Amino acid sequence: MAQKLWEKSVRVNDEIDRFTVGRDREMDLYLAKHDVLGSMAHITMLESIGLLTAGELQALLAEMKNIYVSAEKGEFVIEDGIEDVHSQVELMLTRKLGDVGKKIHSGRSRNDQVLVDLKLFTRTQLKEVAEAVEQLFHVLISQSNRYKDVLMPGYTHLQIAMPSSFGLWFGAYAESLVDDMMLLQAAFKMCNRNPLGSAAGYGSSFPLNREMTTRLLGFDSMNYNVVYAQMGRGKMERNVAFALASIAGTVSKLAFDACMFSSQNFGFVKLPDECTTGSSIMPHKKNPDVFELTRAKCNKIQALPQQIMMIMNNLPSGYFRDLQIIKEVFLPAFQELKDCLQMTTYIMDKIKVNEHILDDDRYLYIFSVEEVNRLAAEGMPFRDAYKKVGLDIEAGKFTHNKQVHHTHEGSIGNLCNDKIILLMEKVVDGFNFSAMEQAEKSLLDR
């Protein structure tokens, strides 16, 4: 077994080692390329304050680029007996470059190293989630516009209530995603602050240039107070988890609607055949398994903030090993949500809408309010109109031409989709992902 960075003369018990390392080596593979980026910025700063020579810096940067490429290709591995990604990178540098590889940890702790790794990983994942949300948004807006004149029943208490439309149904989920993206942007802004240089949470006696590493990594600003930088572990993940949960909540509700509306009792929509599955004994079945799994996965993601809070809420300031466990629930959540968004986008793009739902008179009573409003507009007091229509329904005499004339903002006849698109564009622009991307590209090009 290789010696750990922190070991001196006493070697740790194997069972203690297995228990304390846990799944950390597996989780650290998510962070590998980000660990390299953070180290590239750190050593560039170390050279600027005289802790590395220019030659040492260039040799380290060149080898780190090779490790980065390996991580991007999925070829990076943490060897048996190596505790974590930080130890593996340092080992690889030392094998190639000798003692100079041991210099990269000056002025740094694994505490601020994993903090910066997590932030670099998370902001990249938030960009990918935002892009996936935007793709779903545009499909929903497109379908809303396409089917804006197709009426469907609206429900309260799962009872038919008032006329709705597929324009409203698709558009409602599109606008919901705008609010979700606002929360995602806030999470990104909180994430995009630099903790590097806080070391173990109390700074360093080296004259570190934290402004330099902030600029090199493309952070909006640094976490200034070194104690708060360390306190941000867990808090950042929790805040991001709330944003992921918000998106998941929207997608879960949409999945439920799609499952219900595609059932024979409703027959409002038809899901693509390739997105349904059959039964082992019932030849007629076309089950909405994709949306059922999407619903379950999204509901699991909605529990993520609570999982993180239960791990970190009763901790005082300073670092504790408890925080390691957050990785296990947090890091895989992004791909799970991106998968759900991708599946939902595909199905919503290909879903078929029943354009003749209201031909069935079982939905006739959704027009009762239309009739009440018509009578009120002609001068009858609203309460009298309400009573007349109610008595007509009880007597089986209610009729209506099944037409609606809604004109106010956000209604069937005035969806305001153009306004919703502008809102989304404003939120997307506010992320300013380009600054992050340009900084990382410049660092890799050094």
Taking only the tens place, the pLDDT of each residue in 173-220 is 999 999 999 999 999 999 999 999 999 999 999 999 999 999 999 999
Start-end of CATH 1.20.200.10 domains in the chain: 110-206+220-359+416-444
**Overall pTM > 0.85:** yes
Instruction: Say which CATH topology domain 110-206+220-359+416-444 has.
Output: Fumarase C; Chain A, domain 2 (1.20.200)
Cα separation, 154 vs 420, whole angstroms? 21
* Helix (H), strand (E) at residue 193: strand 193-194
Closest listed residue to residue 50, CA positions, set 115, 98, 106, 127: 106
Cα separation, 178 vs 134, whole angstroms? 9
279 is catalytic: yes
Cα separation, 313 vs 24, whole angstroms? 21
Other Cβ atoms closer than 10 A to 383: 10
Active-site entry in 157, 284, 356, 408:
157
Start-end of CATH 1.10.275.10 domains in the chain: 14-103
* Helix (H), strand (E) at residue 15: helix 14-21
Length of the chain in terms of residues written: 446
Confidence of residue 6 (pLDDT cuts 50, 70, 90): very low
Over the stretch 203-214, which tens digit does the pLDDT of each residue have?
999 999 999 999
- The CA R_g of the chain, rounded to the nearest whole Å, is 28
Hey, is 74 helix, strand or coil? coil
Other Cβ atoms closer than 10 A to 80: 8
Other Cβ atoms closer than 10 A to 248: 27
Query: In which residue are the tokens 């079945």 written?
Result: 285
Over the stretch 110-123, which tens digit does the pLDDT of each residue have?
999 999 999 999 99
Q: Counting beta carbons within 10 angstroms of the beta carbon of residue 416, is it exposed (0 to 12), middle (13 to 18) or buried (19 or more)?
A: middle
Amino acid at 218: G
Active-site entry in 221, 263, 279, 317:
279
Q: What is the pLDDT of residue 123?
A: 98
Q: What is the pLDDT of residue 10?
A: 56
Instruction: Say which CATH topology domain 14-103 has.
Output: Fumarase C; Chain B, domain 1 (1.10.275)
Cα separation, 153 vs 361, whole angstroms? 11
Over the stretch 219-234, which tens digit does the pLDDT of each residue have?
999 999 999 999 999 9
Confidence of residue 389 (pLDDT cuts 50, 70, 90): very high
Cα separation, 120 vs 41, whole angstroms? 12
Over the stretch 24-56, which tens digit does the pLDDT of each residue have?
778 889 999 999 999 999 999 999 999 999 999
Query: What stretches of 263-332 show up as alpha helix (H) in DSSP?
Result: 289-302, 304-312, 326-330
Cα separation, 396 vs 58, whole angstroms? 87
Least confident range from 147-156, 161-170, 258-267, 276-285: namely 276-285
Q: What is the pLDDT of residue 273?
A: 83
Closest listed residue to residue 100, CA positions, set 41, 68, 42, 58: 58
Confidence of residue 1 (pLDDT cuts 50, 70, 90): very low
